[in-house]
């Protein structure tokens, strides 16, 4: 055994001590590199898994239902932005939470009853899943990088901002989009990063309306209140089975026939799109319909393709091609 004692003064002894130190240092450096590499692989895997659940999976399942090719979506851009924030130690992701999000996404997207031209709602377990670590005053690229209660003030797609408390009424708001929050489908209401101490209206922060004050949505009312018949009312939004005239129901419930109810499934009768899990398919915009899958916004309800020229008696009208019917000439 070699010991670095104070009486080690001979050239040979000093040479041996230096060699041992060099070996130990190299070993320690390799260990640090291994840990960093493992951490990077974990960040990459978590980012991709979450973004696939929120972006790729809905697009793939919808394409299977509609018989089309899935679009590229934003999963790749989402994963890149998320990896960058994880690499900067600006956010954290809980692997167990990501697993729950992926499982719930897969479960909710089974079958085709949910398909509409738009992305489906974000599952409850996927909301608020990205947790920020940056304190007030820290440079940030997204509000998701800031601690709860803070937002990234002054940031843009290529310009960093600073983590700050919600802006006071009268301050500018609603400027550049939050790229990471958009890609990861994390809304302000779900993440605890309000831009305003109130709400943003036409580019300016506005204070919450008091109880009895005018409103057009729940976001205009202070926490613990909701908008009912265009007035802020104290108390939570109506729950399952409760009256909802003029109110938005709690959670993902729909106001159907004056009461908060579960959204209707495919095959059930409907009169409005919001009553269904997917779309209300009706022969005309003002006619009752049936809940079901709808792949495209075209054609709108009640649309009849125009007819080319006069039609002879007893002849079958020839309809013009709709935009979706047109194919390039071979």
Mean pLDDT of 270-287: 84
Q: 167 lies in a domain?
A: no
Number of folded domains that form the chain = 2
Q: 226 lies in a domain?
A: yes
Least confident among 69-73, 80-84, 120-124, 299-303: 299-303
CA nearest neighbour of 163 among 130, 186, 140: 140
Q: 200 lies in a domain?
A: no
Rounded to whole angstroms, how far apart are CA atoms 102 and 174? 30
Residues forming a β-bridge with 317: none
CA nearest neighbour of 101 among 132, 122, 118, 116: 122
* Per-residue model confidence (pLDDT) at position 158: 84
**Secondary structure tally for the chain: helices H, strands E:** 6, 14
Mean pLDDT of 147-164: 93
Above pLDDT 70, what percent of the chain? Answer: 78
Q: 280 lies in a domain?
A: yes
Q: 287 lies in a domain?
A: yes
Q: 305 lies in a domain?
A: no
**Segment 57-78, tens digit of pLDDT:** 999 999 999 999 887 679 999 9
**Segment 4-35, tens digit of pLDDT:** 444 555 555 545 555 555 555 555 555 666 66
Rounded to whole angstroms, how far apart are CA atoms 181 and 127? 11
Alpha helices (H) along the chain: 11-51, 57-66, 75-87, 95-108, 179-183, 188-191
Residues 240 and 271 in one domain: no
Q: 329 lies in a domain?
A: no
Residues 267 and 248 in one domain: no
Q: 178 lies in a domain?
A: no
Where is the domain boundary, 259, 289, 318? 259
Structural domain for 284, as ranges: 263-297
CA nearest neighbour of 126 among 220, 41, 190: 190
Tell me the average pLDDT of the chain.
83
């Amino acid at each position: 055994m070699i010991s670095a004692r104070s009486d080690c003064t001979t050239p040979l002894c000093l040479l041996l001590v230096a060699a041992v130190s060099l070996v130990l240092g190299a070993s320690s450096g390799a260990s640090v590199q291994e840990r960093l590499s493992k951490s990077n692989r974990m960040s990459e895997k978590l980012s991709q898994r979450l973004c696939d659940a929120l972006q790729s999976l809905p697009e793939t399942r919808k394409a299977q239902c509609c018989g089309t090719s899935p679009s590229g979506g934003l999963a790749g851009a989402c994963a890149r932005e998320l990896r960058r924030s994880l690499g900067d130690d600006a956010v954290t992701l809980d692997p167990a939470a990501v697993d729950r999000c992926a499982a719930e996404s897969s479960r909710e997207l089974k079958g085709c009853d949910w398909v509409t031209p738009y992305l489906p709602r974000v599952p409850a377990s996927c909301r608020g899943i990205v947790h920020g670590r940056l304190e007030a005053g820290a440079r940030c690229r997204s509000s998701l990088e800031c601690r709860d209660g803070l937002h990234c003030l002054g940031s843009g797609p290529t310009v960093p901002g600073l983590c700050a408390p919600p802006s006071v009424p009268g301050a500018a708001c609603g400027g550049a989009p939050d790229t990471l929050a958009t890609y990861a489908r994390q809304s302000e209401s779900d993440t605890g990063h309000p831009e305003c101490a109130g709400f943003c209206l036409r580019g300016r922060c506005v204070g919450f309306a008091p109880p009895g004050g005018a409103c057009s949505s729940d976001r205009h009312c202070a926490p613990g209140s909701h908008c009912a018949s265009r007035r802020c009312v104290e108390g939570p939004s109506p729950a399952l089975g409760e009256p909802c005239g003029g109110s938005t129901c709690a959670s993902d419930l729909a106001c159907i026939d004056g009461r908060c109810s579960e959204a209707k499934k495919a095959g059930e009768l409907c009169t409005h799109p919001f009553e269904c899990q997917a779309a209300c398919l009706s022969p005309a915009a003002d006619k009752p319909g049936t809940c079901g899958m709808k792949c495209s916004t075209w054609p709108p309800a009640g649309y009849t393709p125009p007819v080319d020229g006069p039609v002879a008696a007893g002849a079958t009208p020839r309809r013009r091609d709709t935009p979706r019917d047109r194919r390039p000439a071979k």
